[in-house]
Amino acid sequence: MSKVLVVGSAALDSIKTPKANKPKLLGGAACYASVAASFYTSTSIVAVIGDDFPKKYVDLLKKHKIDLTDLRQAEGKTFYWSGEYEENMNNRKTLCLEMGVFVDFKPELSPKNSTAPFVMLGNITPELQMHVLEEMEKPLFVLADTMDCHIKGDPAGLKKLLKKIDCLSLNDSEAKLLTREPNLLAAAAKLHKMGPKMVIIKKGEYGAMLSSQGKLFLAPAFPLAKSLDPTGAGDTFAGALIGYIASNASTRADVDRVIRKAMLNASAVAAFCCEGFGLQKITSISKKDIRARVTELEKMIRI
């Protein structure tokens, strides 16, 4: 049994920046998050791929010892996204979006994965996220990530989901959209009232804010002189976060104790993601690289 179960999309991404064009890289929220989590603990991925999904990407996931029991292959094309970034790397536009086999994706868990104690619900609809929880046997900690399209597309379903999870991860614009609050502190307070005891609001290059038990923690983003591609950084952050928690917690009290250190680890791994295209960088680093970067972050925030 894996400690962490990651559910979401597996994709092929074509990424264009002012300086490079990288076609059909391994992408998808579940791939980013499961690789990030695998640095810390045993991890399983739940996703669907098409018959065009390259074997080299399957082998790459295996290299990270990710359990692929519930990585289903269906007849048709893999979920495909193509996007172009502006010079500042903060703004991007979608050039092409083909749902492929992802449009009919319904996660079905094998018996061993239904007992995983730590669960990350990635970028699938609130309805499917609820379906996953209904198949689980009382997980210790559930982290859900959401996107603006689901906030707009199924707000009622999302609010139902929020009552069932322990931690919500979303970016600042999504937090404002969901709560209709321009202030992030006010937004976090409203999100707590919707259900989750922990709320993480990601702010890109400005780090992330954790609100938990009436206390705040601000984790800085690791400063980079050069960012090549921010695609998947948020999913990488969430995956590293739950991976670290799972490797250091066996009770809910433990989760509260380690969450701040988990935030720093998540920031460190997410920064590595931005230094390469797709998963190229984070699939080439080591635990030693991550520990060194976390140590640097700790020095930066120490008074």
Q: What is the pLDDT of residues 259-278, one digit of tens each?
A: 999 999 999 999 999 999 99
Q: Of all residues in the chain, what percent carry a pLDDT higher than 90?
A: 91
**Parallel, antiparallel or unpaired: strands 118-121 and 4-7:** parallel
**Residue 1's pLDDT band (cuts 50, 70, 90):** confident
pLDDT for res 89? 82
**pLDDT tens-digit readout, 87-105:** 888 788 999 999 999 999 9
Q: SS3 breakdown of the chain: % helix, strand, coil, rounded to 5?
A: 40, 25, 35
Domain of 70: which CATH number? 3.40.1190.20
Fill in the amino acid letter for 199.
Answer: V
Domains in the chain, number: 1
What band does 123 get if pLDDT is binned at 50, 70 and 90?
Answer: confident
Query: pTM value?
Result: 0.96
Indicate the pLDDT class of residue 303, thresholds 50, 70 and 90: confident
CA 45 to chain centre: 12
42, with CB counted inside 10 A (0-12, 13-18, 19+), is: middle
Residue 90, pLDDT score: 78
| Total H helices, total E strands in the chain | 10, 13
Q: What is the pLDDT of residue 298?
A: 96
What does the DSSP 8-state code read for residue 239? H
Q: Hey, what are 214's tokens?
A: 């009436």
DSSP, res 164: T
Q: Which domain holds residue 234?
A: 4-301
- Give the helix ranges, DSSP H, for 49-203: 55-63, 126-135, 148-153, 155-162, 172-179, 184-194
